[in-house]
Structure 1
Amino acid sequence: MVMVDEIPFPAEIVTKGPLLLFGQGITHVEIHFLQIKYNAIGIYLEKDVIQHLERWKGKNAAELQEDEHFFAALVSAPVEKLFRIVAIKEIKGSQYAVQLQSAVRDRLASVDKYEAEEEEALEEITSFFQSKYFKKDSVVSLRFPATSNTAEITFAMGGKEEVKIEVENANVVQMMQEWYLGGPTAVSPSTVKNLSEKFEAFLSL
């Protein structure tokens, strides 16, 4: 287990194959100079992802951290990815949904890809989270299969059976990945920093 702000993350998760914990961090907001931590994050990837990032061999963590092209290549790499998000502070599911919806919508609008189909897909995601309540240690998993432009969102609380939704809009799926793997513009700078450090080590082997 790897501890992220006192929350345990397995070093490996097996879905269709083994996924390794490539990076971890937290999301937080600052209120009156206090840092309020909301979620711990684990980024799981197939080890084969390294093969798709060969051109960055020899780059150090600081260079990778600021390189949008590196993170774009990471998002587009045809490997399975899984983002495990664990609640540190209790929030309503609707609060998380609004953050996700706003971030994805803004990214889509900036590249002129926000159409009715994308809006409908985002509304389905928002509706899924609307009735959820993120108690401490609740888990959201965002799984992106290697072979399709889809995403599977699952929610589990208190060890109860997971509930899930499929997202089939490729543009929304891409921007969901970019929200967490968007390099300098991602939601969690600490996760991006940690990923950069891990990839510096892997790409130097």
Structure 2
Amino acid sequence: GSEQEKKAAATVEVEGIPFPREIAAAKTLSLVGHGVTDIEIHFLQIKFNAIGVYLDVDGAMEHLQGWKGKSQLMEDEAFFDALVSAPVEKVLRVVVIKEIKGSQYGVQLESSVRDRLVAADKYEDEEEEALEKVSDFFQSKYFRPGSVVTFHFPATATAAPEISFVTEGKEEAKVAVENAAVAEMIQRWYLGGDSAVSQTTVRSIADSFAAMLSSP
């Protein structure tokens, strides 16, 4: 095969944006799902971000043995709960398609995470403070097409999850998510099954795991 074919095999294209099938973090993480966030306005589909979800597959599979042989994972909220709570390293990679102000993204994240915290009765001063810090991080950013937001959730609670933002011509910026409940709800925003911000992404994750859990 040519170099180009090899490269194609090593990446998955989402809306023309290449996502590597594997990334190196503390462990080698595999792409288990991808999709977009979009809205429909006057019958036009506007795509905002392409998303890739990476995790330590071996660790996750161990945690998800209860779903072995089940094919309908998309409708199974318990499966997504288990995925979010699985104590394995995870990375969410969000690549900007349509340019917006970072503050707009920050507001979406903040209101979605706050609603989830309130619903779970976990929204106290500490959560509010940690969430505000994340929202403030995005205030000054500008989401040009091709900019990348990365959410890194370590396998253990000893290290804080971290959000990084990279855009052309600027240094990488990072912020720690210093509250476990906020970190969990950020995961749920992207990985929460029915209520996730990108249904294409969670469907892709459900299909990947259904295939992995059904193979002998």
Common fold: TM-score over 0.5: yes
Number of the residue aligned with 2:5: none
Q: Does 1:119 align with 2:128?
A: yes
Number of the residue aligned with 2:140: 131
What does 1:97-112 correspond to in 2, within 5 Å? Answer: 97-112=106-121
TM-superposed CA distance for 1:75, in Å, is 0.5
Q: Which amino acid counterpart does residue 28 of structure 1 have in structure 2?
A: D
Rounded to whole Å, the distance in 1 between the matches of 2:81 and 2:37 is 21
The match for 1:171 among 177, 181, 184 is 181
Rounded to whole Å, the distance in 2 between the matches of 1:135 and 1:27 is 16
The match for 1:76 among 76, 80, 85 is 85
Rounded to whole Å, the distance in 1 between the matches of 2:132 and 2:181 is 14
1:47-75 CA-to-partner distances (Å, cap 9, x unmatched) read 22111101111111xx2111110000000
TM-superposed CA distance for 1:175, in Å, is 0.3
1:65 is paired with a residue of what secondary structure?
coil
1:171 is paired with a residue of what secondary structure?
helix
Q: Does 1:50 align with 2:61?
A: yes
Q: Does 1:199 align with 2:201?
A: no
TM-superposed CA distance for 1:161, in Å, is 3.1
1:146-190 CA-to-partner distances (Å, cap 9, x unmatched) read 011731000001264311000110110000000011001100000
Aligned residue pair count: 203
**Runs of 5+ unmatched residues, structure 1:** none
TM-score w.r.t. the length of structure 1 is 0.97
Rounded to whole Å, the distance in 2 between the matches of 1:116 and 1:18 is 36
Q: Which amino acid counterpart does residue 73 of structure 2 have in structure 1?
A: L
Rounded to whole Å, the distance in 2 between the matches of 1:52 and 1:152 is 23
Percent of paired sites with the same residue: 61
Return the index of the structure with the highest Cα Rg: 2
Q: Does 1:13 align with 2:23?
A: yes
**Runs of 5+ unmatched residues, structure 2:** 1-10
TM-superposed CA distance for 1:15, in Å, is 1.0
Rounded to whole Å, the distance in 2 between the matches of 1:39 and 1:166 is 22
Q: CA RMSD in A?
A: 1.0
Q: Which amino acid counterpart does residue 61 of structure 2 have in structure 1?
A: I
1:86-134 CA-to-partner distances (Å, cap 9, x unmatched) read 0000010001001100000000000111111111111111111000000
